[in-house]
Structure formats: C-alpha cells, structure tokens
Amino acid sequence: MDNFMMIETGVQGKIGLITLNRPKVLNALNRQMIHEIVQALEEFDRRDDVRVTVLSGKGRAFAAGADIEEMADEDAIHMEWMNQFADWDRISMIKKPVIGAVHGFALGGGFELALACDLLFAADQAQFGFPEVNLGVMPGAGGTQRLTKLIGKTKALEYIWTGETMTASKAEKLGIVSRLVAPELLIEETMRFAASLAEKAPLSIRFSKEAVYKALDYSVYEGMQYERKNFSLLFSSEDQKEGMRAFKEKRLPLFKGK
Ligand code: CAA
C-alpha cells in the first residue's frame, strides 16, 4: 500500500482496515487525510483478498470534523477551483461494504464520513453532530443530504440548526447507527461482523449494496427493475450454483466472488 501519513492501513483475514491517525487533533480531516482514505478504500476495493473494509479512528475520537486550521482562511473561489469534495464523491463509488466503527466524537465532516459508510457500529459513548452553525458554515461533505435521507427533514434540520450533539443511543434509535457496543468491544464486535459479512457471497453483497442505494434515488418501480437485473445477473455466477448446491447437499457454501 502507499506510504500514508494521515492514516494507518492493514489487512486482517479478508478485512481491510483504515485507521484515522491524527489523534492529537481528534482526527480532524484535512484534505490530505481524505485523499488517503479514498486511496486506501479504492485499493481495498480492487484487491481480491479483501471483501470488507472497516474504518475507525485512533485516540479519543472517530473524527471531530474537517480541519478548521486548514480551512479558516479559505476563500470560495479557491475552494471551487480545488474541487476538494471530489474525493468525497469517490467514497460513494466504493463497491464493497464499508463498516464504520465510531467512538468518541463524530462531528461535522467526521459525522459526514461516518454517514458515508454503509453501516455503523458505535461505542455507546459516541457523540454525533453538526456544529458547523457555530462556525458560520454548514455541512459541506454530504451531511444535509445523507442525514435527511436517513432520518427525515424535521430531525435533520433540528440537528443541523442547533448544532447539538446526538448520543449514540439516539443515533441508533434514529436508524443512523446499526449496533451499539461497549467502547472496549467496539473494534472486536465490528471485526466479528465484518468477518461474517466476508464469508457471504461477495457478488450478492456487492449487487445488493448497489440496489439498496438506488432506493434512495429511484422511484420504487425503477428501483425494482434495477434490483431484478442484479438478481438475474447473480444467476450467471459460480457462487449462485455453489450456494444452492451446498444447500441441497446440507453443507456450508464456499464462495469465491466468481
Ligand atoms: N479542526 C482542527 N483541529 C481540531 C478540530 C477540528 N475540527 N477539532 C479538534 N481539534 C483540535 C483542537 O484544536 C485541539 O488542538 P490543540 O491541542 O492544539 O489545542 C485538539 O484537537 C483537542 O481538542 P480540544 O482541546 O478542543 O478537545 P475537547 O475535548 O476540549 O473538545 C471538541 C472536543 C468538542 C470536539 C472540540 O475539539 C471541538 O469543538 N472541535 C471542533 C468540532 C467542529 O466544529 N467540527 C466541525 C468542523 S467544520 C466541518 O466539518 C465542515 C464540513 O462539513 C466539511
């Protein structure tokens, strides 16, 4: 893997690991760090030996937002020319599952990065929120869109307008977090889940991820046509034959992603 400065990466079994590594500034997300996260995600997406990626943060936070030091003196025209959010867009193009393991603060861009994951496991002390209104800005890396799709206009506006933090248990009730875990078990439990996901038929996981995201943008009818095509496509895979043969032979299937 590339020589990263802002993140650590590794592979455990079939799981790619990305750990945000600026703990002194609570993993504040500067442009280089986002670039490295995207590079690592894309590399894991291409590798045959990796089936799931787990994203977490080192130190006492997942990420306390975009790096305020870096953007405090920015001007709008320079930001437009940099097209810095293009890297964030690339996260949406990752095809394999990305599971976020969130502890401590997930604020501003940190919350947006969490929302860009497919599923979130959270320590029960985690705190989510959009404090941008206290800085004279607003969420800029997908927060207004992803949060609204997830929890609806009313609650999204409430959190975006007040800047209040949301407890992990509230985030779980609102459907943002998939599972709550004791902080000391967060990585272990997330890895356990990721490992079980890595044993499922990879193409089934991939095509169902695509289809579920279509549900956020398409009408039900159009989404169902998309789903049907992916469903049919899976019948051209070896894994579909293996999965159904294994069922009939009363044994566990061995999936290859082919
Ligand atoms: N950017 C840059 N540095 C940050 C940071 C950020 N987002 N968040 C924390 N830090 C730094 C602090 O400046 C501090 O550095 P020093 O030790 O050099 O002073 C260090 O991390 C530790 O932070 P605190 O001492 O503040 O820790 P705390 O426990 O007292 O407070 C906190 C924690 C409430 C999260 C507080 O750090 C905070 O409010 N951080 C900013 C949160 C925020 O506003 N995030 C939104 C950013 S804007 C954004 O993300 C826009 C977007 O949509 C893309």
Condensed to tens digits (0 to 9), the pLDDT of residues 31-51 reads 999 999 999 999 999 999 999
pLDDT (average), residues 129-147: 98
- Tell whether the model's pLDDT for residue 149 goes beyond 90: yes
Share of the chain above pLDDT 70, in %: 99
Q: Are 177 and 171 in contact, with CB atoms under 8 Å apart?
A: yes
> Which of left, alpha, beta for 112 (phi over 0: left; psi -120 to 50: alpha)?
alpha
Tens digit of pLDDT for each residue in 197-232?
999 999 999 999 999 999 999 999 999 999 999 999
pLDDT (average), residues 170-182: 98
Tens digit of pLDDT for each residue in 56-112?
999 999 999 999 999 999 999 999 999 989 999 999 999 999 999 999 999 999 999
- Tell whether the model's pLDDT for residue 1 goes beyond 80: no
Whole-angstrom distance, CA of residue 194 vs CA of residue 52? 6
User: Which positions are catalytic?
Assistant: 66, 109, 112, 132
Whole-angstrom distance, CA of residue 56 vs CA of residue 154? 29
For residue 69, give the ligand 1 atom closest to its CA: 2
Share of the chain above pLDDT 90, in %: 98
- Tell whether the model's pLDDT for residue 161 goes beyond 80: yes
Q: Where in the chain is the domain with CATH 3.90.226.10?
A: 7-198
For residue 110, give the ligand 1 atom closest to its CA: 50
Mean pLDDT for the chain overall: 97
The residues lining ligand 1, judged by C-beta closer than 6 Å to any ligand atom, are: 25-26, 28, 64-69, 105, 107-109, 112, 131-132, 135, 137, 139-141, 143
Q: Where in the chain is the domain with CATH 1.10.12.10?
A: 202-248
Q: Are 30 and 71 in contact, with CB atoms under 8 Å apart?
A: no
Q: Give backbone dihedrals phi and psi of 180, rounded to 5 degrees, phi first.
A: -100, 140
**Best mutation site among 21, 25, 26 for ligand 1, i.e. most ligand atoms within 8 A of its Cβ?**
26
* The pLDDT value given to residue 3: 86
pLDDT (average), residues 146-155: 98
Q: What confidence tier does 145 reach under pLDDT thresholds 50, 70, 90?
A: very high
CA of residue 30 to ligand 1 center, whole Å: 12
Find, among 130, 120, 128, the residue nearest to 104 by Cα: 128
* The pLDDT value given to residue 71: 96
Q: Which residue is it, tokens 């604020």?
A: 107
As assigned by CATH, the class of the 202-248 domain is mainly alpha
Q: How many CA atoms lie within 13 A of 86 on its CB side?
A: 6
Whole-angstrom distance, CA of residue 124 vs CA of residue 173? 12
CA of residue 26 to ligand 1 center, whole Å: 7
Whole-angstrom distance, CA of residue 112 vs CA of residue 88? 9
> Rounded to two decimals, what is the model's pTM?
0.97
- The matching CATH number, chosen from 3.20.20.150, 3.90.226.10, 3.90.1150.10, 3.40.50.2300, for 7-198 is 3.90.226.10
